[in-house]
Structures are given as structure tokens and as C-alpha cells.
Structure 1
């Protein structure tokens, strides 16, 4: 967020905009800066609970010079403005969050669809605050059913009046977060007056992970750069990591696919990424099975490396995810003929050719057959 400028963050309801604002506020407080949070959406109890969950010390939140919670109940008239200017002079905050633009405009009696009215609101409220030094972050909503919109709902003057950067926040498939559930949101820059972000590209991510070491309700919410690697099934990667950590022993591919929710091919792709990224190691087990052991836990937002051949959708490019024939697979033929038995056979010790036909049987089965033949031969001799 740019200091001395108005910055916008818009998104659909439930995309985690407030968590992004709180993560930014927590980061400023951690850097010994001061923050003012103008809240017209939540309430002092809810917002304080979230800040505590992020690990902000209670003493910092209680310090009137470090953090100020403001809940306006009347318009930003001259008398109210003078009180707020005094607060700014006392605190000299690096960040002022306004949550949200729509509620503030309603309190001011501003028509959000009127260019002139919106321009006047910025002049009297948001821009007036920014000109006194802090970065101002304005939270707003998007037009209904249009998460690709480049600007918030209402007049285009909202976007035009942004003097810093405007971001649109979205949540990808299966990445929504809630209490006890990790996830990730993406922030796409749709305007940047200073040219540090490429318009139309994802500029940063908000990663939310439970932090049980600090308490059952604690979370880590971090704003960071976008992962440079290709697509990866991070939700499934987290599931595999938790499964291996819970079992505390090497697990076969079949056990992982059975124990982790998701499509078999997506779980397999996630496992490949974890191995390539050094989170999981492999070793040979009985009956030619591959065992997987957790080296270090994976959390959403951690760095990873996507191996060649893994594509969005889960299956290795050109194949269906069956390790015994990989890219040589003809999915239509394989699934219709073998119905997924290929992997089970290899894990049971069978050796298959490229068409899935048996080349050799498991050693134990061979031993049992040899024993049966020996007994038959002994009976015939006697």
C-alpha cells in the first residue's frame, strides 16, 4: 500500500478482504508502526478477536498511540473531522483502514452511483486522510456475480480517485478458508499509479493457516508475493502432509490415495509435487511398493516445485496418473479395460508391461506356487 495515497481492495462477500486488511495492519504493528482501523462492518469485539488470533499482543491493541479502533456513528462533519485530525497528529499512523467504502458513503448520504457525489466523498474523507501522510486502504464490494470486474461496485469515479493501487481479491477453487481450515486468496492489480504492479496480473497472495501452537482460534495470515511455480494442488498437498504426519510412518501410494480426500489422479499429482519439492521422500517397500515418508510438513503458501508433466487437473500431461505407464497411458482404454486395477497390481508386487499385462507375479505368490508344485511332485513320487 502506498503512503500518502488512497489504495483500494475490492472483492465479493466472503473472499477475505477484512483478513487482508488485518494482515496488513498486523504487519505494520509488528514493524513498530501505528494503525487506525475505521470499522463499519464488524464490531470492536470481533475485530479485536481477529487481531489477537493473528498474534498481535494485547498490550499493543490496548495502547491508544499504537492502535485505534474507530466506529463512526455520524457523518464526517467539520467538528468530527477536527477530532480525527487530532488523532492523526497524535498517532501518526502508517496505515488507516476504512472498512468499508459503501458503509461510509451511506453514513455520509453519498450516492455511490453518482460521479460527482463519489468525487466529493473522496475529497472530504479518503483523500483528505491520505494527504496527511498515511496509506489509506479502502475496502469495497464488487458488482454481483462479476469477480472479474476491474473496479468496485458503483461509480467509476471510485477507481479514478485511487491515487495508489487498486486490487481485486478472489479465492481460487477449493482455496476458501474458514475457522480451522487453511486457504489462500489472490490479489490482482487493476490499477497502480506508481507502476510497481502489472495491471491485470496477480500481484500477491493472502495465505491463511491455522496456528494451533498459539491457541485453537489462532491463525497466520500473511501477505506475500505470488508463487512463481506453475499450478499445483496445494489443498491436496496439505492433506497428504497431514495424513503422513498423523500416521508417523512411511505409507504406500494406495494408502495415501485411500486416506486423503480428492480424486485419485489429483492426489497422485500432489504427491509428485511434494516429492519433487523435498517435503516427502520415497523408498522401496515390500512387493515392489513405493513408500512415502514426510520430511517436513507442508502448509499452504509454502514454496514448491512442480515437476515436468504435472498439469492443472491433476494427471500428468499425456497420461492418467497411473505410475506404471505414466505418459504412455491411453486413458479411455485403460479406464475401460482395467478400471483402475493397474496401480493395485503394481503395489501388490506384479510387474506389468506398457499395456498393463502381467509380466511377472509377486515373489510371495511365486514362492507359494513353487511350494504347491513341490508338494504335488512329492505326492506323485510316493
Structure 2
């Protein structure tokens, strides 16, 4: 069982108490609504360890604070997981990951937090385990609806009477309701732990179990204004909160009915509500050629394999259940003849068990076979209906005839329509076109805080449950930034998912080890789950689909998708098409964010042309629009390499929740980004890599604007090519000046070295090459050359500013340039250069930026 859940724990286990407990308070001193009649309390005494309520809960008094008033009392009374639900509602605003099968129960710290922040919300209970006299039970609620709602009459009490006539009467027990003088209400029972429960006993009778639904209880207020209250087993209003251990045991006949013969909850999704006839009808319609001849795979992997297992092994029960499930999975993969294959295996198993070994009587054997086969189909239908497993179509084990193809298409269409209809009829699944509870939505938005990848001041950059982008040029440090976030999470004991479409497992593992991640943590898939996909999971094998489902069902603090372009290609999509980008986001990043709760970080590239580069990644602008978290542009300010200490600036380009921009520096007009952090990566010691995410010097000045002309503030490395072209041009002019024979020629050449004349020549060259004038780039590059002392300015005629070369500039000698070769500037001859003028276009086209 996952840590933090009470399911399956040994009897007597009690969760930690709230930290702020100071006193024991009676759980019978609460008050009912004024109009509720009083009555005696009759319960049996059960020996159990009591938990004290949090003192912080005592401060919240009055019916305006249902959750704050009662959460501690329910916890103290023994209810496992009191949860907040939107005030005045029966649903909406439930904490994520705290209801449903496989979800953990709320911790005491979480409950204290909800008391502080959501005290005025309604309160509901998730059913959980309870120990009575050393025996572990689950609390089960039988929810009977008998009233008129929106013109429709619910008849749960009548349906309950029919069931009681068949199965025997339900004994008196605790009931919660909001309808006085009405048979509606939730009846609570002790039931055997570890079973799989139906969702319904009848049309208007729901079953509330540890893995399904929840119960809104006192002192919550119904949307129609009535307050919920408790009735004791004698049917009298109860002033207080009952101990769940004093609930009545559910009769065996009812346990068998509601669990389909005590089906064990093995953690897998299963259809508990369809009747046997409905399950058989579904299998005959949905599975390919159910009653036909078994195909090669069904015969070899199914019949022959499992008959050998039955003959060779002394155990029996696990063989028939294993065989039925394996055959059902083969049918889901498109293999035909499940009905006939199951019949052959069942006959072989019966002969072996009854006749050859005499282990069972024929009647017992037949019942065991029946339960095993039906439960395998229930499990398969449940997984298909929930989307965990998909029908893959006809197999290739036999000739696909037109008749078979048409039959399968028709059955798939019927299933699709059936699923759609069932979804619409399910009261617990609101339609996507229904009105949204804006109060809950706004509350969720207010609570969004970035928690992953913290700066030196503690502020973080990535929001949990949101999708982010980190993009930049090659070797700009974008993957390093994501790996630093991963190392941070793992260091705190928080799981990380890394879906790698670009790199290799060895490379990623080596980097994380350098960043200080322990080998044990790195090699623990529960802590670091590394995936290197080679196929779209929607089009892969059953194993691929199941692996994807297992991944999505995990819980992570951070999920990295390294290589957006490669991932979209794998999905058969184009990053330049807005529809494809939207489709990819729905199929991968948003699925991970929604289901795992992780801060999802998509690592992407920018266009190679700096002059046409925007603040979003290369391709469609929808890459930015689809994000519901933040987008960051990374720019290498100094190289990242073994044996060196490098620096990467991180600029926020989008911040949908709006909690990061206020931490950043000045707003840069040229690309509308703000400097939010500096990643310092020190690899001078080749055995390790130390990193720090530092606060920028101008942090907190996000409302200020860089005092530069439009187009200023471009990343330094983007200007390197322009700087070299200016330098070469001026070097050529100065050589011509040295060779001039008269003063008039010298003056004419010097006049070409003013700011406007230089920009005019450079802009003309850009236009000739089809790149536009790039006016701002040339003027800013000229200023950088002056600021960094490659050029000096002297006064010319009429006070003009003449630019003179002090030392030639070459991008290959500049550590901030992508063309840096490591040559020391000390080896460069002053002013003596091998060639003059503008570089050959073919040699430098990449730097001008044609996208490849």
C-alpha cells in the first residue's frame, strides 16, 4: 500500500495526532440545528484508542464554519479522512488525490491546513478502515435517495424494500441525512475489509466505499438550505458525532450482493455494476469473434500454455484465474475465439482438479470456474471503460475478411455510443459543457504557488500541476536547468519523472550524479522514473499502453519532457501546426499535469535566426498559448563545459498564474521578458558539479523598463556575428585610409566611419542577403564594440564621431559567442587581419539564422 493510506494497515494502527493538540474535548457536545428534535443516544461501547481534536478547530464556531467547526471532531471520533467540499454544495472543490481508488487518505497536516484556509466550506467523509476488537473492517455507506429532484422522482426506499425482501432486512445503524421525515439518507455499516464494492445497489441506491464517492455530513448545509444531521440506530437525532466503530455489521447476504460474491480488491479497475448477462452480452459484442475459432495466438499463448501450467503445477485456483485473465487480455489485443478458448481451458482444469486429483467436487469446481471467468470479463470491461486499456482491433493471426472488419467496426461504434450514454447518465461525472463552480475555481487559482526549482531566496519557478516551457539555443543550458530542478526534488525525497526524447539514460544519469544525486535514489524508479520512448503509446502494444498508464498513475513533484520536437514527431504531429501543438499538449503534457500533479517542464528549442526569434519556442505560437504555467528563455552568458564555471540567465517570458513575474527584474521591451534568475554551474572539479540559482541584481523591479531604445537588450551572443562584420568593415576602411595619397581621400574615408554611415552599409548588406535591415542589431552591436574597447571614438569634421579599430573583434575568440574556439585574445595581432570586408554568405549563413 502507498505510504499515507490506511488501506490494508495492521489492526490498531493510528495516524499521527495534530501537532497543536492541547486538550481532550467531548465529541458529544456539539449542537444540532435549532429545529432538530433531541433524542437519546444508544450505542454499544467499543474499546478503541481515542484521538484528541486539534485546538485550532475549537476557535471556529458557528454554522458558518462547517469544516473548521467539525473536522477535528470527526478525526477524533475515528473517521479517517474528513475533507472540505464547496460550501452550500454536495460536490466541487474536493482536494485533489484524496478520493477514489488508489488515492491516499488525508494527513493531519493537510486537515489542519484546510481548517485554516477552508473552514467555512462543507465537510464530507471518505469511507475508511476501522478496527473493532482487533478485527479490521471497512465503513460502507448505503445511500438511499427517495425524493423528487428537478422533475424526476427518485424511489430508493421502494427499491430498498424489494432488495430487503430478497436478501433480508438491513439492521438499524447510524444514518446521516438532511431530509427530516423522509427515508432518504446514508446508512453506515461495518463490512469486511479489502473487498471490491459495487457503485450501486439499485437505480436510486448508491454504495459509498473507500474507493468510491464520499458522504456530506453534519454540520454541512445542503444547496437548498437544509442542514445535515445524524440519526442514531433508534432513528432519533443525535447531538454529536458517532464513533464509526459503533456502526452495525452488514449482513453476509448483503456483503455477497454488493461485492459480487466477495470479489477481492486487488487494486485494479473492475466493472462491479453490470449483471452477469450484461457482462456476457458486452463480451460477445465488443471482443472480436468471441464465439469463433481461436486464432493462432489464442491457441498457442492461451489454450496450450495454460493447459501445460495446469498439468505441471499442483496449485489450482491461481491457474484458472490466471488463465481467464490472460485469455481476456489476448481478446483485448484483437485475438479471436475467447469463448471457445475459455471453454477448452475450463474443461481441462475441471478434469485435472475433479477427476485426476479429486481436489474438489464438481459443483464447487463449476462455481469456481464461473466466478473466475465472469470476474476476468468484469476486470477487462472496467479497464476498457475507464480508458486504462484499449481494444486494438483484429489480430494478424488469420485473414482479415471484409465481414470481420465490418463486424468489429460496428461493435466498436456500439461500445463508443454506450460509453458516451453511460457517461451522460452518471451523476458523478459532470458534463464538460456544464457550468463551472467559479468560487471553487477562483479559490484553486489563489492557492497556486510555485514550489519547484528554488532560487537562493527560496522563491521557486515551477508550479505544481501546471505545464511549463524552458527553451533556448543548443548548449544554452536548458536541460541543465531541468536537471537541477530534478536534483532538488530528489534531494527533498520527492519523486521525479523524466521522459527523454533527445538524450540517453547514461548521459542523464551521469549529470544527475554530478549534481549530487545519490546512486540509490537515482536507481530507485519510485524516486526517479526515467523513460526513453520510441513509440506513440496510443499506437503501441498492450505493454506500451499499460506502461504509459502506470506512468500517468504515478505521483511526481516534477515531470520533464526533454525534446518537444522529437516527441511531437513520435506522435506524428508538427510543431509548426497550431492544431497539432494543441493535440500534443492534450495527449502528453496536460495528461501528466492533471493525473500526476507534477510541475511539467517541456524542454524546447528556439529558431536559429536571432533576428526572427520570438519569446516562444520554435514553431507555432500556440506552444506559448497552450501553457498554463510559466515559460522561461535560457541564455548562456558564459560557456558550460567540463573544467569551467558557467552562467546561464533565466528570463520569464510568460507567467499564467502571475506569481513569478513580480520576483523578476526589469522588463525587456525587445522580447517582453524579465530576468528572473541566474544559474551558476561550476564544473571546475570534474568529479562533481555545483549549482546555484541566484537572484538577479534587479530582482523586484519588474514594473521598471530597461532604459534602452527599442530593440536594445538583445542577448550578447546574438550580436557576435554583427560585431565581427562591423569590425571587418572598419578594418578595411582604415587600411584604405593608410593607403590614401591625399587629404581629401582620407577625409572621405573617415566620413564613412560615423555611426550612421556604418549602419547604412551594414543594413544594405543585410537587405542584399534577404534578411531585412536589422537596424537595431547593427546599432547595438556597434555600441557593444565601443563599450568593450574594441573600438574608440575620435572627433572628426563638424564634430562628427569617427569609429576607429583598437583591436579586431572575432566571434571565434569571444567566450560569449556560439563560435568560440578557445583561442586566447593575447595571441591576436592588433589590427592585422587575414581578410577584410563582409564574410562570405555561404560561410556564415547559420549565424544570420536560416531555420533548418
TM-score normalised over the length of structure 1: 0.56
Displacement after TM superposition at 1:85 (Å): 3.0
Could you list the per-position Cα deviations for residues 27-73 of structure 1 after superposition, in whole angstroms to 9, with x for gaps in the alignment? 01111100011111110111111111111000100111000110001
Structure 2 residue matching 1:74: 3-state secondary structure: coil
- Seen in structure 2, the aligned counterparts of structure 1 residues 171 and 59 have a Cα distance that, compared at 3 Å, is same
* From 521, 524, 529, the counterpart of 1:60: 521
- Whole-angstrom CA distance in 1 between matches of 2:636 and 2:472: 9
Displacement after TM superposition at 1:157 (Å): 0.9
Structure 1 residue matching 2:591: 3-state secondary structure: helix
* From 472, 488, 491, the counterpart of 1:27: 488
Return the structure number with greater strand share: 1
* Aligned residue in 1 for 2:180: none
- 1:142 partnered with 2:615: no
Structure 1 residue matching 2:517: 3-state secondary structure: coil
- Whole-angstrom CA distance in 1 between matches of 2:514 and 2:585: 32
Structure 1 residue matching 2:537: 3-state secondary structure: coil
- Whole-angstrom CA distance in 1 between matches of 2:475 and 2:683: 18
- Whole-angstrom CA distance in 1 between matches of 2:467 and 2:506: 27
Contact in 1 for aligned 2:645/2:684 (Cα 8 Å): no
Structure 2 residue matching 1:131: 3-state secondary structure: helix
Displacement after TM superposition at 1:88 (Å): 4.0
4+ aligned runs moved over 4 Å, structure 1: 312-315
> Size of the alignment, in residue pairs?
229
Unaligned runs of 5+ in 2: 1-461, 662-671, 700-785, 790-805, 807-852
Could you list the per-position Cα deviations for residues 231-267 of structure 1 after superposition, in whole angstroms to 9, with x for gaps in the alignment? xxxxxxxxxxxxxxxxxxxxxxxxxxxxxxxxxxxxx
Displacement after TM superposition at 1:143 (Å): 1.0
Structure 2 residue matching 1:73: 3-state secondary structure: coil
Structure 2 residue matching 1:77: 3-state secondary structure: helix
Contact in 2 for aligned 1:150/1:190 (Cα 8 Å): yes
Structure 1 residue matching 2:485: 3-state secondary structure: helix
- Whole-angstrom CA distance in 2 between matches of 1:115 and 1:150: 16
Displacement after TM superposition at 1:226 (Å): 1.8
Displacement after TM superposition at 1:211 (Å): 6.1
- Whole-angstrom CA distance in 2 between matches of 1:313 and 1:228: 21
- Whole-angstrom CA distance in 1 between matches of 2:545 and 2:468: 21
* From 472, 497, 522, the counterpart of 1:11: 472
- 1:40 partnered with 2:489: no
Structure 1 residue matching 2:618: 3-state secondary structure: coil
* Aligned residue in 1 for 2:254: none
* Aligned residue in 2 for 1:49: 510
- 1:191 partnered with 2:654: yes
Structure 1 residue matching 2:490: 3-state secondary structure: helix
* From 159, 162, 177, the counterpart of 2:624: 159
- 1:169 partnered with 2:634: yes
* From 678, 683, 694, the counterpart of 1:224: 694
- Seen in structure 2, the aligned counterparts of structure 1 residues 119 and 81 have a Cα distance that, compared at 3 Å, is farther
* Aligned residue in 2 for 1:210: 683
Displacement after TM superposition at 1:184 (Å): 0.6
Contact in 1 for aligned 2:641/2:683 (Cα 8 Å): no
Contact in 2 for aligned 1:8/1:137 (Cα 8 Å): yes
Displacement after TM superposition at 1:221 (Å): 2.3
Displacement after TM superposition at 1:194 (Å): 1.1
- Whole-angstrom CA distance in 2 between matches of 1:83 and 1:13: 31
* Aligned residue in 1 for 2:334: none
Contact in 2 for aligned 1:12/1:144 (Cα 8 Å): yes
Contact in 2 for aligned 1:115/1:155 (Cα 8 Å): yes
- 1:96 partnered with 2:566: no
- Whole-angstrom CA distance in 2 between matches of 1:153 and 1:223: 26
Displacement after TM superposition at 1:217 (Å): 3.0
- Whole-angstrom CA distance in 2 between matches of 1:217 and 1:149: 38
Displacement after TM superposition at 1:81 (Å): 4.8
* Aligned residue in 2 for 1:107: 570
* Aligned residue in 2 for 1:201: 674
Contact in 2 for aligned 1:150/1:168 (Cα 8 Å): yes
Could you list the per-position Cα deviations for residues 165-215 of structure 1 after superposition, in whole angstroms to 9, with x for gaps in the alignment? 00111122xx11211110111111110011123362111121101263xxx
- Whole-angstrom CA distance in 1 between matches of 2:692 and 2:561: 20
- Seen in structure 2, the aligned counterparts of structure 1 residues 66 and 211 have a Cα distance that, compared at 3 Å, is farther
- 1:116 partnered with 2:579: yes
Contact in 2 for aligned 1:10/1:141 (Cα 8 Å): yes
Could you list the per-position Cα deviations for residues 111-160 of structure 1 after superposition, in whole angstroms to 9, with x for gaps in the alignment? 11111111111111111111111110000000112285210000111100
- Whole-angstrom CA distance in 2 between matches of 1:100 and 1:218: 25
* From 519, 522, 534, the counterpart of 1:73: 534
Displacement after TM superposition at 1:84 (Å): 2.4
- Whole-angstrom CA distance in 1 between matches of 2:593 and 2:507: 26
* Aligned residue in 2 for 1:86: 550
TM-score normalised over the length of structure 2: 0.26
Structure 1 residue matching 2:682: 3-state secondary structure: strand
Contact in 1 for aligned 2:644/2:684 (Cα 8 Å): no
Contact in 1 for aligned 2:562/2:602 (Cα 8 Å): yes
Larger radius of gyration between Structure 1 and Structure 2: 2
- Whole-angstrom CA distance in 1 between matches of 2:572 and 2:695: 38
